[in-house]
Structure 1
Amino acid sequence: MSMPPPSYPPQPPHHQPGGYPGGGQWPPVPPAPAPAPLNAFAVVALVTSLVCLAPLGLVFGIVALRQISRRGERGKGLAVAGLSVSGAVLLLAAVLVPALDLKVWTVPARDDAGEVVREGWTTIDALETGDCFTPDDKLPEKDSPSLFDSGVRVTPCDQPHRAELYASFTLTGEEFPGRERIAALAWPRCAERFLDYSLDPAAFGRLQTYYFHPDERGWLSGRRTVLCWVGRPGTARLDHSVRNDGADLTPAQHTFLTALKPLNVGSVLRPANGPRDDLAGATAWAERMAEAQAESIGLLAEAELPGAQRPTEQLVAELEAGLPFWRQAAEASDADTFLGHLRSVDEHTGAAHARRIRELLELPVPGAGGDQVRYGTRQVRAGDGTAGRRNLTGPGPDVTS
């Protein structure tokens, strides 16, 4: 019996998957070579240059390039970028630092008594009574930034400095009282408190009192403090403290200076405007001067000043002779009459006798030719806003000494 032919074409012979008819196996493909390692110094160089550590970035960049060249490592671009940024920062610093006069902000060091023993920088509102300081650059003028936020260099008082803080006090009230009202309050308080701080101002030559006070923006932010400070007129500097509370004085020296204090306090409170501009203010001041001179006369008459009794009696006599002219000035009806009485007062100051007493008591004597210490008061506004200054008194009055 014959078999019928298949109904489908014959299949080709079976081969193993992946092979080719009549062919052998291919060799395996070798793995790709590992990348060169990234140089760590190259990364560090870029990072340090970006975080303002330019000197380190420069050093790390140079080290990275040397290692990359020797070891065949990657990171040359990072190292070059780090070098470029570091170099640019250092170049910019070399140009800007001298122009900007940048300072290192270090806190002043104090001893156990609170006195500054190493200079440093702080803000005006952080000053303490007795601190000797120099304002940053110069005192701001009108429309300058807030003074209380300005920097001052605080130094030991035996080093050259511009100013010495001698008192502070706090103003009251919710609403800002205005610049003129603050001036009217601050000026006499600062003047009087200086004579509490320095019993013998004649010992230090010409001085000028100043004060910082808050402006309107500072007032609204809660600032109420007035800071009183003293310095030389103009830009002259001090090289010692002007504090003299009497602790180092002999009993006779202390007695003499205390007797003159009422007269000195009255003198520094001379009004800003003369009698032609403000006769009422001038006559009121003359009345206070009459009271102050009478008080000083009484204290001097009772003072025991061994070795200086004779010039003390002469000083009392001169002041008694001048006292009626103060009282007449207080009642003057016009400026010319007032000034005439003041000229008569000037003839009876007793300055020569006062100098002789100072010599005998071994107190510092005012300069030759009868030069006496002059006082005035300046104000400097301070706070969260503008700052300014003006001379409130013009040339200050002579302080009898």
Structure 2
Amino acid sequence: MSTPPPPGPHQPQGSPGQPQGPYAQGQYPPPYPYGPPAAQGPYPYHPYGTYGRSVPVNGVAIGALVLGILCFLPAVGLVLGLIALVQIRQSGERGKGMAVAGSVLSCVGLVLWSLLVSTGAASNFWDGFKGAASGEGTAFALARGDCFNSSTGSLEGETYDVDEVPCDDQHDAEVVAVVKVPDGSFPGDDELADIADDKCYEHAGLYALDAWAVPDGVDVYYLVPTRQSWRFGDRAITCMFGSTDGKPLAESLRRDYMTLDGYQVRFLSASNIIDNVLYEEPEAYPEEDLAANRAWAKDVHRVLGEQIEKLRTQPWPEDAKAPVTEFLAEMGDSRKEWGKAAAADDADTFYAHYEKAYGFVDGATTVTARKALGLDTTVPTYEDDSDSGGEGGSGGRLDV
């Protein structure tokens, strides 16, 4: 860049207006070989134009500075800073200060990360973050046996906040289990729903061994992780009882090994095993597939024999011995009918023994035995789900 002349008149040596030295008249020395520059006013002449062109800033230096400030990937920031210094030295670009600052900050970041990893502070920070997300009043904090009200007033859709309440108070739901899903990539909503259907009904049966004590209009619901909560380590499916008719639950439905005595657990366990095999009835009618129905009747006959023998050999309270004995005798009569159904040669014969066998299920002796053992005596009603097309009852899901 040229230097402006000092203020005031300036006249070179020699004759006014005549170039001096070896150049002839009409010729001009460099840097003006083609004549003097146009008048520039008070500003100096610039060889690159009126405004000039600034030297560009090295882009790698900018990246190094950004990574250094954010302390994100400090090793990458340090490498970028070193590369930028080499490029600036070769190209003459600006940004040396940025490259140096980014390298220094990245070195500091590397030291800090090393300390976090070596002392376990990084792990503690992540655990603390998840712990905060699992704090009281959130769906992540629910455990088996907890009762709560949904912040949305519904057990379907999405929720985060819940209001935990005593199970003796009115509540929307009661947790029966918390099932952990293996780590990995997000399995998808459908896969999580399949896992929940499979596990939650199983755990509901263990939580409420006495199915007669579960009111009509109560079914199984579940909380499942969303794609967003999965990113923060949410791997829990929360299984729960909830009302299907919008009416709140009035008491705890828990009837498991923690709340029942040994006699009650023994009786209920045998009854539930029998119920489970009865639920496996083939979808095809006997006139459509007699062989499948005969095979199922044979399984019922076998399971009844096993459970009757097990209950017969167990001790019972004095005031429950006679009622349990009568119950077992009636189950023996039912077993005989199932054996005859398993040997039926046609659908009509199968139906005749099938109906007699079912006539003993949940009969008067069952109610008397349950009463003697201190169990619920309200005979449940069974809905025909054959046309529903579903597999898990009428429950639903609640995403967190």
TM-score normalised to structure 2 length: 0.50
TM-score normalised to structure 1 length: 0.49
